[in-house]
Every structure is written in C-alpha cells, then in structure tokens.
Structure 1
Amino acid sequence: MAASVTVLWLVAAFLGGAFSLTCFHCTTNNGDNCNENEKPCLGPLDTCFTTLTEIHQDKQKVPTKQLVKLCREKKSCNQSYTMSFNSTKLYASTTCCETDKCKTIMPSIEDLKKEKDKENTLSCPYCIEFPSTKCNDKDTAKCYGKEDKCVSFTSKEATNTSKVSKWKGCATANLCSMSTVATLPLSHVTTTMFECNHAPSLLPGLLLPVAFGPAMLKLLL
C-alpha cells in the first residue's frame, strides 16, 4: 500500500512539473525588450507577465524606463495604472501570454500619459522619504487623470533590506488590488504596509473664495 502511494505521489509530482508554465524572467532598465532566464511558474502563478514602467521627474529631461518579465497570476493581466508624487509621476502597463516561453506584446503607456496630463480635483498626503519608514503628512500631492486613491507604502530593496523608503501619493484604484505585482519607482523592490484610501476632493477649498466673495459683497452693501 505504501509503495502504491509513493508511486502515485511521484506521478503527480512529475505531471505537475510537466505541465507547469515556463516564462522568461528578466529586467531591463531602459525599457528595451528581453527574452532570457527561463523559469517554471509555481503555485498559483499561471501566466507570463510583462510590465513596462516609465517614471518622470520634473528635473529629469529623460524619463526612467524599466521592463520586467516574470510569472504572475492571470487576474492582474492587461492592466494599466498611474501614480503621482508631485514632481515624480509613474506610468505602468502590463501584458500577458500563457504558453511556454511566450513573447508577450510590448505594453504601451502612451494613452496613459495623455490622460494623466489632466489634473483632477483630488489630492492626497504626500512624501518620499529615503531612507525612512515615516513621513511628514503635512504636504499634499495633486492627483491626475483617473487617480482617485491615496496610496501609502514602504519599499525595501530585495538585495539589501536595510535600504527602505516611504512613499505617499495618488494612484488609480486598480493599483490597490495589484499591490503585490506593481512595479514601483525603485528597481528590485518589495513592498510592505501597502495601503489605499479614498482621495479627498480639493473642490470645496477651490470654491471657497467664489462663495466668500458674494457674501462679503452683501455685507458691504
């Protein structure tokens, strides 16, 4: 009986390995494509995932681009998201494929950049602190495009966990459900304490002078 169980376990293990998906695992820091370092996908990871990230900073003429390929869950496929940290803005898009060593279509972020140019009426607590896990919540970041969530997270470099940074700013809502797969503004980072909250509106503050003017005029007359 024990021998039969052992044989069945070995067959199951062999079949599990035989049918696992193999994807490329690579990163480029200039946004170029890559197809190397083949690895099998384990557990719930069931698709080959590609994320293109572009980071713009006001004082930087050329944006920073990063492309990442690895195994991820299919539920996060074909998503686009943005984040704003005042002078730092991030655009990202993902694509997927589901066959061994498949070459995913390169993600595009051009439409995101056009949409994100439009400032909306929301704002969020803002900070970028490095190295630190705490922030000064007195500053605010303006939100753009479809960003309607306030995001807060701590990041650690995968190769040096003592290098930590704290981020707070605006984000699109879908990023909140993608926090474990999102490519963030630092290379090779893991995120902890990822939180999302609804972004408060700037509109009441903007309308206050408009309402205050007629009221003062009535008093003077």
Structure 2
Amino acid sequence: MSSCLLITCLLSAIAATGYSLSCIECTSLSDTVCKGESKTCSAGNDSCILSYVVTSIGGMEISKMYTRQCGQSNLCSKTGSISLPNGRIKAGTSCCKTNDCMPTDPILPTDSNEKNGIMCKTCFAPNSKSCDTDLITECIGNENVCISQVTTIQGDVPSSTVVQGCSTKEMCEPARQVWNLGKMTVYLENTCSNTGINIQPNLLLAIISLWLFWKLLC
C-alpha cells in the first residue's frame, strides 16, 4: 500500500511540473485575428488569451487590435469599455486551455448613449505617469466607475501613458497586469473609484490602442 501511494505521489508531482501550456503569441492592428509563433507559457499562465480592442473617436472606429498570448484564467471572458470626451474604447477577451488553441471571438460591449448620472475627471496624457485635469465627462450605459490607468511600455520605443475617464467595472480588474507582446512588454496599473469626480490618480489593453493612435498622429 505504501509503495502504491509513493508511486502515485511521484506521478502527480511529475504531471504537475512536467506539463507546460503553449500558446500562439502575436498582435495585429486590424479586424483579422493574427497568426504567430507558439510560445511556452510561464508558470501561473494556464490559458491562451485572445483580446480584441476597438477605439473610436467622434463615433468613428479609428483602430482595431487583436492580441494572442499566454495568460491567467482571471483575464478570461472579460468585456468592458472606457469613455473619454468624444472617444470610447471597447475591449473583450476570450480563452481556451489546450496547446496553441484558438479562442472564440471576444464579445464587445454594446453601444449606449444613455447617461447614467455619474461624472468622472478625464484626461489622456502620453509620455506621462500622471495628469492633473479639470475636464469632466458624463458617463454612459454601464460605465459606472471612474478609472485611472497607467501604462508603462518597455521595448524599442519605451513610454508611459495615463488615461482617466468613465469605465465599466470589468476594466478595473485585475489591478495590475503584465503583457508580453513580442519585443514589447506592457505594465498596466488600474485604479477605480465609484465616488464620481473624487477620483484618486494611479483591457491592457485599452491604453495600448490609444498609445498606437497617438503614435500615428505624431
């Protein structure tokens, strides 16, 4: 009996340490899912994640981005949005859990122009980790919290960006994220408040899209 128990424990230990998930890693600035190389996921990453981010300015879609990579299951099945004056970012994620699998297409939140009575301070500040603003935006739909996102990008073109505005709660969690996008590593920090304009400064995915748009303008 003891020998069988020992063998069972050894097999369990080998299974736990010997298997690593592999996922496709790529990014595409289009409405077509990207194709890339397989990458062995690091410890703690148990899912292959597909994210889709759409940025609109003045009611017109100005950028779309698909990203595939390893990640944790708490990032799965997310859908949310962030609104700024004359702009909106919509994001969705989906996951699968087998080697190099293709997740289903992420679901984006539905559009809404109905004001919900909440107002948030708002700004978009590239090349900065903070912004002091008196601008206010009126929140719409399910965007019932105020968000502050700080994104630090390390790579060939390092930068930091901060954005504040109205957000759905789904965009607030997890509070800290790390995204490895090829030669670029993105560190994202979220702080959210449900106390209206009394926001304290502090989708991943949403700032990346705005950062790319700013780069195109400049």
User: Could you say whether these structures have the same fold, taking a TM-score greater than 0.5 normalized by the shorter chain as the test?
Assistant: yes
Alignment RMSD (CA, Å): 2.7
Runs of 4+ off more than 4 Å: 11-18
Higher-Rg member (1/2) = 1
Which one is further off, 92-101 or 17-26? 17-26
1:75-128 deviation per Cα after TM superposition (whole angstroms, max 9, x unaligned): 22111010011122000111100111111111132xx233x3332211111111
The alpha-carbon deviation at position 44 of structure 1 amounts to 1.0
CA distance in 2, matches of 1:63, 1:118: 22
Q: Does the CA-based 8 Å contact 1:148-1:199 persist in structure 2?
A: no
CA gap 1:199/1:28 in 2 versus in 1, 3 angstroms = farther
Compare relative contact order (CA 8 Å, sep 6+) and give the higher one, 1 or 2: 2
Structure 2 residue runs without a partner (length 5+)? 1-10, 198-218
Please name the residue that 1:44 is paired with. 44
Residues 175 and 182 of structure 1 are in contact (CA less than 8 Å); yes or no, is this contact kept in structure 2?
Answer: no
Task: Give how far 1:189 is off.
Answer: 6.5
How far apart in 2 are the matches of 1:66 and 1:170? 21
Percent of residue pairs identical: 20
Q: Are residue 171 (structure 1) and residue 167 (structure 2) matched?
A: yes
Partner deviation per Cα, 1:173-211 (whole Å, 9 max, x = no partner): 12211344599xxxx67345531111428xxxxxxxxxx
Aligned partner of residue 27 in structure 2, secondary structure: strand
Call closer, same or farther: CA 1:181–1:105 in 2, change over 3 Å.
farther
**Structure 2: distance between partners of 1:144 and 1:17:** 47
| TM-score normalised to structure 2 length | 0.73
After TM superposition, the score normalised by the length of structure 1 is 0.72
1:66 aligns to 2:65 (yes or no) = yes
Alpha-carbon distance between aligned partners in 1 of 2:152 and 2:44, rounded to the nearest angstrom: 24
The question of 1:127 aligning with 2:123 is answered yes
